């Protein structure tokens, strides 16, 4: 999705490298293969590179080719030479003729910085993804199978469910949770709302919708289609903004920003609002990256829903194995001490 926003509609080129625009790419041109031979006459054609980012499917295919290591320098160079939509490549196109020397130098620095960013993106994606993530993923699968086989042979007294229950009890760690003291206050009701499972599932559904909306843009879409996507993006931004406001009202400013996921969500919301304003009044679409990070955590609600599901499922197993006893800590907090009951 990031590459679609950066390079959507920018991988067109003319077979005559001296022509940059489609309206210029007509007629014939000469190709000099050898100085000792007469030139060949070829027809100018306006083409789209086979590996491009005009839609999500093509972008995934292009990045897959990059991970295989075949032809990735060419794809990287094509990305660095891109200009604007429906225009051909032009190295250092960002450097424009300016009235002053300092302004030209500043534009040159910006051009080089952006080109370096694109090059670093491909280098990191080519090195980190294939050589680390893929290999680590395969290694983890092999190690997991080996550990499972050894566990079944060495631990004949306990079944798999009992061992998982013991591991869960030993590794469980308490999590801090803020709750308003006055249960009759509006703040408490808002807190009940934002910490409820239906609210979290609703936010997760909105994030899934946001993912689909970001994947639906493609090169050559109509103005009406673009307007509909923009309306959906604005509506989803409003939903995430309301979510952040409700959580700030429920937890308070200090407790809200104490959590790392909340800080991440807040920055994402601010960036999404900025992107919506810039898009509405005209501007660069590169700010659209600010909506993409909202897909990473599946929101912070996001983290509690899967955690709650995990603990609920684990609790079903624990109830048949553990007997709980409530204890009161020195600071007044209640805890739970679990006693393991093994059936021998």
Residues facing 322 on adjacent strands: 340
CA nearest neighbour of 85 among 159, 4, 191, 12: 12
Q: Are 77 and 2 spatial neighbours (Cβ–Cβ below 8 Å)? A: no
287 CB-near residues (< 8 Å, 6+ apart): 271, 274, 275, 278, 279
CA nearest neighbour of 62 among 79, 47, 46: 79
Q: What are phi and psi of 55, to 5 degrees?
A: -150, 175
For residue 249, what pLDDT band results from cuts at 50, 70 and 90?
A: very high
What value does the mean pLDDT of the chain take? 71
For residue 247, what pLDDT band results from cuts at 50, 70 and 90?
A: very high
| Whether the model pTM is above 0.75 | no
Token readout for 138 is 């395969």
pLDDT at residue 164 tops 80: no
Choice between 79 and 130, residue whose per-residue pLDDT is larger:
79
Q: How far apart are CA 87 and CA 235, in angstroms?
A: 32
Token readout for 143 is 């190690």
Question: Span 218-246, mean pLDDT?
Answer: 88
pLDDT at 205: 92
Q: What are phi and psi of 327, to 5 degrees?
A: -130, 155
pLDDT at 190: 92
Q: Which residue has the tokens 């903004």?
A: 241
Q: Which of 45-59, 152-166, 327-341 has the highest mean pLDDT?
A: 45-59
Q: How far apart are CA 287 and CA 278, in angstroms?
A: 8
Question: Span 13-34, mean pLDDT?
Answer: 80
pLDDT at 76: 72
Per residue in 200-220, pLDDT (tens digit) is: 999 999 999 988 888 888 877
107 Cα distance to chain centroid? 30
pLDDT at residue 266 tops 80: yes
Per residue in 48-100, pLDDT (tens digit) is: 788 877 778 888 887 777 777 677 777 777 777 777 777 777 765 544 433 44
Any idea where the domains of the chain sit in the sequence? 2-121, 157-344
pLDDT at residue 105 tops 50: no
Choice between 262 and 156, residue whose per-residue pLDDT is larger:
262
Q: What is the 3-class SS of the chain, one letter each residue?
A: CHHHHHHCCCCEEECCCCCCEHHHCCCEEEECCCCCCCCEEEECCEEECCCCCCCHHHHHHHHHHHHHCCCHHHHHHHHHCCCCCCECCCCCCCCCCCCCHHHHHHHHHHHHHHHHHHHHHHHHHHHHHHHHHHHHHHHHHHHHHHHHHHHHHHCCCCCHHHHHHHHHHHHCCCCCCCCCCCCCCHHHHHHHHHCCHHHHHHHHHHHHHHHHHHHCCCCCCCHHHHHHHHHHHHHHHHHHHHHHHHHHHHHCHHHHHHCHHHHHHHHHHHHHHHHHHHHHHCCCHHHHHHHHHHHCCCCCHHHHHHHHHHHHHHHHHHHCCEEEEEEECCCCCEEEEEEECCCC
Q: How far apart are CA 127 and CA 150, in angstroms?
A: 34
CA angle 173, 178, 183 (to 5 degrees): 130
Q: How far apart are CA 318 and CA 185, in angstroms?
A: 35
pLDDT at 118: 67
pLDDT at 274: 85
CB atoms within 10 A of CB 252: 15
pLDDT at residue 335 tops 50: no
Q: Which CATH number is correct for 157-344, 1.10.1060.10, 1.20.120.350, 2.60.40.1510, 3.65.10.10? A: 1.20.120.350
Q: Which residue has the tokens 């295919």?
A: 61
pLDDT at 115: 58
């Amino acid at each position: 999705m990031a590459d679609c926003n950066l390079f959507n509609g920018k991988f067109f080129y003319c077979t005559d490298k001296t022509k940059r625009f489609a309206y210029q790419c007509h007629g014939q041109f000469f190709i000099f293969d050898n100085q000792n031979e007469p030139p060949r006459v070829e027809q100018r054609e306006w083409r789209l590179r086979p590996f491009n980012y005009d839609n999500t499917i093509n972008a995934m295919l292009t990045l897959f080719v990059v991970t295989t290591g075949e032809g990735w320098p060419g794809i990287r160079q094509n990305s660095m030479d891109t200009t604007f939509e429906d225009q051909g490549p032009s190295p250092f196109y960002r450097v424009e003729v300016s009235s002053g020397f300092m302004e030209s130098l500043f534009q040159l620095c910006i051009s080089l910085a952006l080109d370096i960013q694109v090059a670093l993106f491909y280098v990191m994606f080519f090195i980190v993804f294939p050589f680390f993530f893929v290999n680590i993923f395969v290694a983890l699968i092999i190690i997991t199978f080996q550990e499972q086989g050894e566990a079944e042979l060495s631990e004949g007294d306990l079944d798999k469910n009992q061992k998982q229950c013991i591991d869960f009890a030993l590794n469980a760690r308490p999590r801090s949770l803020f709750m308003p003291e006055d249960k009759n206050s509006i703040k408490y009701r808002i807190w009940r709302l934002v910490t409820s499972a239906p609210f979290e599932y609703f936010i997760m559904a909105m994030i899934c919708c946001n993912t689909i909306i970001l994947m639906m843009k493609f090169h050559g879409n109509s103005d009406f289609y673009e307007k509909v996507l923009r309306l959906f993006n604005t509506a989803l931004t409003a939903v995430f903004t309301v979510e952040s406001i409700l959580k700030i009202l429920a937890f308070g400013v200090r407790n809200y920003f104490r959590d790392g996921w909340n800080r991440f969500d807040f920055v994402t919301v601010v960036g999404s609002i900025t992107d919506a304003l810039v898009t509405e009044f005209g501007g660069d679409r590169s700010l659209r990256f600010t909506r993409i990070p909202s897909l990473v955590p599946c929101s912070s609600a996001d983290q509690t829903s899967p955690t709650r599901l995990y603990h609920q499922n684990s609790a079903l197993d624990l109830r048949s194995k553990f007997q709980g006893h409530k204890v009161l800590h020195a600071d007044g907090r209640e805890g739970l001490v679990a006693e393991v009951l093994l059936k021998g």
